[in-house]
Structure 1
Amino acid sequence: MFTGSSYSEDRQKNEALVLKQLQALIEDEDDQIANLANASALLNQYLENINWVGFYLVKGETLVLGPFQGLPACVRISIGKGVCGTAVELDETKLVTDVSAFPGHIACDPASKSEIVVPIHADGKVIGCLDIDAPELQRFTTEDQVFLEQFVRVLEASLKA
């Protein structure tokens, strides 16, 4: 498990193991919701110091809540709004060290202090995002971003638009 501390050989091994576990969970399953549910459970088990991990899926011009681990969440987010909507609109990962400083942040859980959102693709287009919140400032690092982007790339192999 990692907490945003310095990158180490042990961390690399742990991350590689999580990616292998994800691959094993999704390789024989074609149901998108099942794969997203297991992916959120896997990250919830692996990541420390987080209070929410899950997915939002594109439905028209809106992101709709998908499988997650944590407290009840916002059900719909307009594309272009908040961290999730911005990440999807721009098709880029958003690593936010202090959500109170992010213009238009949507506070689904007031305990969340930092956040990372990674867009998810299928058939060449953005179909949703991975969203992870933490109850501490500056929880997520660039190393976390690299790992979570790799995690999403593995997951994308099982998804359809």
Structure 2
Amino acid sequence: MFQAMPYDGTRSEQFEMVLTQLVALIKDEPSAMANLANASALLKHALPDTNWAGFYLFDGNELVLGPFQGLPACIRIPLGRGVCGTAATERRTLVVDDVHTFPGHIACDAASNSEIVVPLIRGGELLGVLDIDSPLKDRFDDEERRFLERFAAIIVEAI
């Protein structure tokens, strides 16, 4: 069922394949944790040149580490702090080409150089964020942002 990118299709086709795989993985599974765990594993293996992919969940006060793939991470992130906390507060996707220039960046993994964070929002309520890090600078582009926002929308419906 799973095939890591890249393969012989276009990048857009690869993204569509990953979205199809996500839907198949979470179909009829009521456990939010299981769905988030599979989603983070799917992204980590599908996106080349990434070193962390996972979720932080909003507990009503701050973001708390959820299922992820990668090295151990910061457990709690205050709203408004770092890329994740800022994306959650502003409720918009943030693409940071060089995390070392981002004010208040939280360095959970010193190898990370770029990051994308997509807020998970349902009915105006913040559920958490999808966070992906890369050791490369300028790793995430607009096409990938759109793909990850679609990925996050599918996750929001499943949790």
Q: 1:15-53 CA deviation, whole Å, 9 max, x = no partner?
A: 111101100111111111000000000001100000000
Q: 1:48-103 CA deviation, whole Å, 9 max, x = no partner?
A: 00000000000122100000000000000001100000000000000000001100
Q: Structure 2: how far apart are the matches of 1:49 and 1:130? A: 17
Task: Please name the residue that 2:129 is paired with.
Answer: 129
Task: Please name the residue that 2:32 is paired with.
Answer: 32
Unmatched 5+ stretches in structure 2: none
Q: 1:91-129 CA deviation, whole Å, 9 max, x = no partner?
A: 000000000110000000111000000001234311100
Q: Which has the higher contact order (CA 8 A, sep 6+)?
A: 1
**Equivalenced residues, count:** 153
Alignment of 1:79-90 (within 5 A): 79-90=79-90
Q: Does 1:45 align with 2:45?
A: yes
Q: Structure 2: how far apart are the matches of 1:123 and 1:22? A: 22
- Kindly provide the amino acid, as one letter, of the partner of residue 17 in structure 1: M
Q: Structure 2: how far apart are the matches of 1:59 and 1:151? A: 22
Q: Percent identity, aligned pairs only? A: 55
Q: Structure 2: how far apart are the matches of 1:27 and 1:157? A: 11
Q: Structure 1: how far apart are the matches of 2:137 and 2:12? A: 23
Per the alignment, in what secondary structure is the counterpart of residue 86 of structure 2?
helix
Q: Structure 2: how far apart are the matches of 1:54 and 1:139? A: 17
Alignment of 1:68-83 (within 5 A): 68-83=68-83
Alignment of 1:68-147 (within 5 A): 68-147=68-147
Task: Please name the residue that 1:14 is paired with.
Answer: 14
- Kindly provide the amino acid, as one letter, of the partner of residue 138 in structure 1: D
Q: Structure 2: how far apart are the matches of 1:62 and 1:126? A: 11
> What stretches of structure 1 move > 2 A for 4+ residues in a row?
none
Q: Structure 1: how far apart are the matches of 2:34 and 2:146? A: 24
Give the TM-score, by structure 1 length: 0.92
Q: Structure 2: how far apart are the matches of 1:44 and 1:54? A: 8
- Kindly provide the amino acid, as one letter, of the partner of residue 31 in structure 1: S
Give the TM-score, by structure 2 length: 0.93
